[in-house]
Amino acid sequence: MSYTSPGFWFFLAILLAGLTILPQRFRVGWLLVLSLLFYTAPDPVRFVWAVGLGAVTLAGLEMGTRDRPWLGRGVAIVILLAVLVWAKFADAVGLPDPGGPPGLSFIVFTAVALLAEAARRHESWSQADAALHIAWFPKLLAGPIERPQSIMPQLPALGLKPDMAALGLSFLLVGLVKKLVIADSLAPVVDAAYAIPAYAPPMELLLATYFFAFQIYCDFSGYADIAVGLSLFVGLRLSRNFARPYLATTVTDFWAARWHITLGRWFRDFVYIPLGGSRAGRTRQMVNLMTVFMLSGLWHAGLGYGVGWGFLAWGALNGALVLGERLLPKPRRVAGRVLRTAVTFHLILVTWVFFRAADLATAWTILERIGEALPGLPALVAAYPFTQAHLWGFTLIAALLIVEIAAEARHGPSPVAELVTAARRPIRWAGWYAALALLLVAGHWQDTEFIYAAF
- Map out the domains of the chain as residue ranges: 11-135, 163-271+305-310+318-454
Give residue-wise pLDDT tens across range 80-119. 999 998 888 887 777 777 778 888 999 999 999 999 999 9
What pLDDT, on the 0 to 100 scale, is given for residue 148? Answer: 94
122: annotated active-site residue: no
| The pLDDT of residue 102 | 87
How far is it, in rounded angstroms, from Cα 123 to Cα 153? 12
Range in 144-148, 191-195, 297-301 with the lowest mean pLDDT: 297-301
* 208 vs 69, higher pLDDT: 208
Segment 74-81 mean pLDDT? 95
pLDDT of 315 reads: 94
The pLDDT value recorded for residue 152 is 96
Task: Tell me the mean pLDDT in the region 5-27.
Answer: 93
| Average pLDDT of the residues of the chain | 91
Q: What is the pLDDT of residue 11?
A: 94
Asked whether the beta carbons of 418 and 167 are under 8 A apart, the reply is: yes
Nearest CA to 73 among 60, 58, 54?
Answer: 60
Q: Can you tell me the distance from the alpha carbon of 142 to that of 223, in angstroms, rounded to the nearest whole number? A: 7
pLDDT digits (tens, 9 = 90+) for 244-268: 999 999 999 999 999 999 999 999 9
State the pTM of this model.
0.94
305: pLDDT strictly greater than 50 = no
In 45-161, which ranges are continuous DSSP H helix? 45-63, 73-89, 104-121, 127-135, 148-151
**Cα 390 to Cα 376: distance, rounded to the nearest angstrom:** 20
pLDDT, tens digit, for every residue of 315-364?
A: 999 999 999 988 776 655 556 888 999 999 999 999 999 999 988 999 99
pLDDT at 306 over 80: no
* Catalytic residue, candidates 300, 346, 390, 411: 300
pLDDT above 70 (res 293)? yes
| Higher per-residue confidence, 92 vs 132 | 132
What confidence tens digit (pLDDT) does each residue in 377-425 have?
899 898 999 999 999 999 999 999 999 999 998 888 889 999 999 999 9
Beta bridge partners of 302: 307
